[in-house]
Chain A
């Protein structure tokens, strides 16, 4: 099973709303990632959690707040977003962040399409 599940599939929110994106995996992976992908562009890394601790924050604005409650679950809390934050948000997981390629292959979810009005 190489499944990473993201909910919701689509989300429309106003600039004053608070919402959350959810990502779940049951592969026993200990590294989880959030990416932002604009149309016709490659994914851009936002955050990395390794063993439930935030290991990388790629200078993401504070209106995006990640949370890793346990090793299977990753959330992205959204607050006061801007229209330019509209994008596809992808979650990925890997066995860990180590050097061994068999362990660091990233498996992606199908993403949440976010529209900010």
Chain B
């Protein structure tokens, strides 16, 4: 079974600085998808970025980028120019390439990010 590990329960960053959140996963599959979701105090889970395992190029979305290391099974999220609105719980998630029940999201335990003004 696949597992997702986020080893940093809490992180803190100064406004305008850069922070990296770690995520590792365990799988025997070669094709899969990885996601970072953000959950602010408003509670809504918001998709931040996604990565297809077959793509070598790291995904980027504005100030958010990932460092995807397939061999190391690592998928870290870098937030540049941190803003107060980035403060939230961040969940790393894995999804198998299979459809149906095998394709459900598997979440890590989350990292709570605080942004200091």
Residues of A within 8 A of B (CB): 40-43, 45, 48, 50, 55-56, 88, 90, 92, 97-99, 101, 104-111, 113
Contact = CB atoms under 8 A, between A and B. Distances in A.
A101 B105 contact: no
A56 B100 CA distance: 9
Contact of A97 (B45, B100, B108, B110): B100
Nearest to A44: B107
Interface stretch (B12-20, B60-68, B90-98): B90-98
Contact of A104 (B91, B95, B109): B95
10 contacts: A40-B112, A42-B91, A43-B45, A48-B104, A90-B43, A97-B100, A97-B103, A98-B103, A99-B97, A104-B103
Nearest to B37: A108
Nearest to B9: A40
Q: How large is the interface on B (under 10, 10 to 19, 20 to 34, 35 or more residues)?
A: 20 to 34
B33 A101 contact: yes
A41 B95 CA distance: 18
Contacts of A104: 33, 95, 99, 103
In the complex, the 10 A-B pairs of residues with the closest C-beta atoms, listed nearest first = A42-B107, A108-B45, A110-B44, A99-B99, A98-B99, A111-B43, A101-B33, A56-B101, A110-B43, A97-B99
Interface string B28-49: 0000010101000011111100
Nearest to B101: A56
A42 B36 CA distance: 12
A42 B108 contact: yes
